[in-house]
Amino acid sequence: MFEITSCTNENIFLSAISLFPLGPFVKPIFLNEPVRVYYPNLNRNLIGTDNRKRVVIYQWTNLINGHIYIGSASTGSTRLLNYFSPSVLLRNLPIYNSLRKYGHNNFCLAILEDLGSFKQVPKKFILEREQYYLNILFTKYLDRKLNLSPTAGTTLGFEHSNIFKLNRKGSLNPMFGKTFSPEFIAMQTRDRKGKNNPMFGIVKSPATIAKLQKLVYVYEAETLKIIGIFSTVECTKHFKMGKDTLTKYLDSKLSFKGKIFSSVQLD
């Protein structure tokens, strides 16, 4: 394993308005020699630039207690900048709880592996590399882990206790029968708008938009003459059919009321 030999106050300059104390720091243990290392609040823009459209395996290290989180990202900048999003940080998971409690200035972010362009690396290989580091974390550094699951790409291995499950049902659920004030709803919307949204400023290509729209090609069943191209919502409204019905005939390739519905263009 690899260690930073020193991590002092002189390395990191905090804004005078920081709400979190700085240090004293432990020496972070990296599970591989890092390709890149960041002190997040000082390098947020650099994180986005360096990891744009890159497939990465990354490690967060809490510099106060040495706790470690391992993750992977097929689009590095989007995933890593998510850790700065107010709405994401509200999620009740150990890594987010730790970031909220200690502040980003008391963490360092290491890119353990840069696997290349996001279009060139299979998802299976990404998960295999993440799994390699999770195996190290869950065998050698179990007391330091911030990951809930020992399995890459899944929550397999993590289960809520039966008592927890019972305490979340019906009227015992803290959200049961709860109504939200307009102010609260406005706050939630605000935290996902503009620069707080991890997709802010990212322009989607026509090809990406087409994929997101899930277009439906509609043909005459007898002649296979194309009737038109519709989004799923437009298709259900135009042909007066339910979403489940549309899905059924898209999967079966059978005709419905004299028409063929296809998710791909037929020859």
Summarised one tens digit per residue, pLDDT across range 110-167 is 999 999 987 788 888 999 999 999 999 999 999 999 999 898 887 544 556 677 677 7
Residues 38 and 114 in one domain: yes
C-alpha–C-alpha distance, residues 256 and 252, integer Å = 10
| Inside any domain, residue 126 | yes
Residues 155 and 212 in one domain: no
C-alpha–C-alpha distance, residues 227 and 148, integer Å = 50
Mean of all residue pLDDT scores within the chain? 83
Residues 215 and 87 in one domain: no
Residue 32's Cβ-count burial label (10 Å; 0-12, 13-18, 19+) is: middle
Confidence of residue 12 (pLDDT cuts 50, 70, 90): very low
Task: Report the pLDDT averaged over residues 27-41.
Answer: 88
pLDDT at 158: 55
Confidence of residue 45 (pLDDT cuts 50, 70, 90): confident
Q: Which domain holds residue 88?
A: 2-159
How do residues 211-239 score in pLDDT, each as one tens digit?
Answer: 677 789 999 998 999 999 998 889 999 99
Task: Report the pLDDT averaged over residues 185-192.
Answer: 78
pLDDT at 5: 42
Residues 31 and 124 in one domain: yes
| Inside any domain, residue 98 | yes
Q: Is 66 left (phi over 0), alpha (psi -120 to 50) or beta?
A: left
| Inside any domain, residue 176 | no
Residues 155 and 214 in one domain: no
Cα-based distances in Å from 85 to 22, 57, 100: 21, 20, 11
Confidence of residue 171 (pLDDT cuts 50, 70, 90): confident
Q: Which residue has the higher pLDDT, 69 or 24?
A: 69
Task: Report the pLDDT averaged over residues 31-36.
Answer: 94
pLDDT at 11: 42
CATH number at residue 20: 3.40.1440.10
End-to-end CA distance of the chain: 56
| Inside any domain, residue 22 | yes
Residue 6 predicted with pLDDT over 60: no
Question: Into how many domains does the chain fold?
Answer: 2
What per-residue string of b and e applies to 182-206 under the rule 16 or more CB within 10 Å gives b? eeeeeeeeebeeeeeebeeeeeeee
**Considering 159, 177, 192, which residue would you say is the last residue of a domain?**
159
| Inside any domain, residue 180 | no
Structural tokens at position 98: 């730790």
**Considering 141, 159, 177, which residue would you say is the last residue of a domain?**
159
CATH number at residue 236: 1.10.10
What backbone phi and psi angles, to 5 degrees, belong to 87? -70, -35
Confidence of residue 73 (pLDDT cuts 50, 70, 90): very high
pLDDT at 119: 79
Whether the link from the prior residue into 122 is cis, omega within 30° of 0, is no
Residues 27 and 147 in one domain: yes
How do residues 78-123 score in pLDDT, each as one tens digit?
Answer: 999 999 998 899 999 999 999 999 999 899 999 999 999 877 888 8
Residues 225 and 117 in one domain: no
Residue 17 predicted with pLDDT over 70: no
**Considering 125, 159, 193, which residue would you say is the last residue of a domain?**
159
| Inside any domain, residue 177 | no
Task: Report the pLDDT averaged over residues 19-45.
Answer: 80
Residues 14 and 121 in one domain: yes
Residues 146 and 211 in one domain: no
pLDDT at 208: 74
Residues 132 and 212 in one domain: no
| Inside any domain, residue 174 | no
Residues 57 and 113 in one domain: yes
| Inside any domain, residue 68 | yes
